[in-house]
Amino acid sequence: MNTKTDMGPESPAPLPPGGPGYLTWTPEQQVIGFRSFEKINPVRVVGRGEHVYSLPKAAHQISPRWTSDGQDMDVDLYMQQARTSGLIVLKDGQVLLERYGLDRKEKDRWNLTSASKSVTSILVGAAIQDGCIKSLEALVTDYISELKDSAYEGVTIRQLLTMTSGVQWNESVQGDFTHAGSDFHLFWSTVAEPEVDPMVSVMRRRPRIHEPGAKYNYSTADTHLAGILVSNAVAKSLSEYLSDKLWQPYGMEEDAIWQVDAGGRELGGGWLSVTLRDCARIGQFMLSGGKAGARQVLPPGWVEDATSAHVTFPSEPASDRIGYGYFWWITKNSYVASGGFGQRIIVYPQDKVVIVINSAWPSVYPPGGQAVHVALAEALRAAAIASR
């Protein structure tokens, strides 16, 4: 297996524990660990190409002020309070704001946690465009044969992408991923069946609790299976395919890294580490309609379909989310790649604005964290629009 564990910045302090230990890292360990996953866990490299997609600095930079929960805020204060390691805003492909914190440098990668799911969605679309996956109505078991005669029998790829497989999975218990009743720790399972991915081995023993397509249930397991499905379909690792379809042709500036499980498969539901600027380029790629230069990487219409609300949510005062697409969260005027501990790639298609936030929140989803992000994003979006 082509894995590396010796890349990245030199750490001035001992490395934190790997595997599920990251869920209980101290704030000091987070600062080291989130930008040094390749030193802690086995990974594959997503190789960059020879050319770089330019992100020119706009002549007019923004620095908005806003009110959040009754407090006057600005970017510096927000970054300090929210433990933000990187913040970048693009409008029409130009950088309006770029800031770093927590001793992070421009070339330092940062772990995207569950925001990686949206990249896995991109790779599903690329595999359809390449003809390696027949369609979204194809069956999961057509591409992961070990799931035949399991609860995934009859589940379509579309249902996998919208987390409506109906297969039992308890992501967390009341938001606590470390709870004994959470299934999240299973991602660090050892190989139980030779030649079978550990999570495939786990999930093919799970019961069906809802009919496919009937009910949404947030499931990182389904996303991991989507990654395995793509890898099987294209006969490449996810890292190699991501390099071939996006990193090289679009012009990412730095290599990315992707953590693998005990079976050597990239964890399609998370743990992709990317620089701040390359995260912004992911947003720009989506704004382009899935093109890398003249090359159509994603099927025509895929971006609009993937970022439509195939699942709708009831309104919540603290959240602007109205639904879920193909591993993208949908709001009234944006779509979002979102991950625990404060990771966001926010795309406003009508405004041609991309906002990326990388953070090291003290817990996966602290109380009020979503509302704070919404207030920041709206302030940055308004300032970006006003900068025309």
Predicted confidence band at 175 (pLDDT cuts at 50, 70, 90)?
Answer: confident
Predicted confidence band at 8 (pLDDT cuts at 50, 70, 90)?
Answer: very low
Distance CA 347, CA 115 (A): 13
Question: Domain coordinates of the chain in residue numbers?
Answer: 25-56+81-386
pTM of the model: 0.94
Cα distance between the two ends of the chain: 49
Predicted confidence band at 70 (pLDDT cuts at 50, 70, 90)?
Answer: confident
- The tokens for 36 are 């040094």
Predicted confidence band at 2 (pLDDT cuts at 50, 70, 90)?
Answer: very low
- Residue 330: CB atoms within 10 A of its CB come to 22
Question: Which tens digits make up the pLDDT trace of 346-383?
Answer: 999 999 999 999 999 988 877 777 888 899 999 999 99
Fold of 25-56+81-386: Beta-lactamase (3.40.710)
- Inter-residue contact 250 to 292 (CB < 8 Å): yes
Question: Which tens digits make up the pLDDT trace of 196-249?
Answer: 999 999 999 999 999 999 999 999 999 999 999 999 999 999 999 999 999 999
- Mean pLDDT over each residue of the chain, to the nearest integer: 93
Q: φ and ψ at 114, to 5 degrees? A: -75, -10
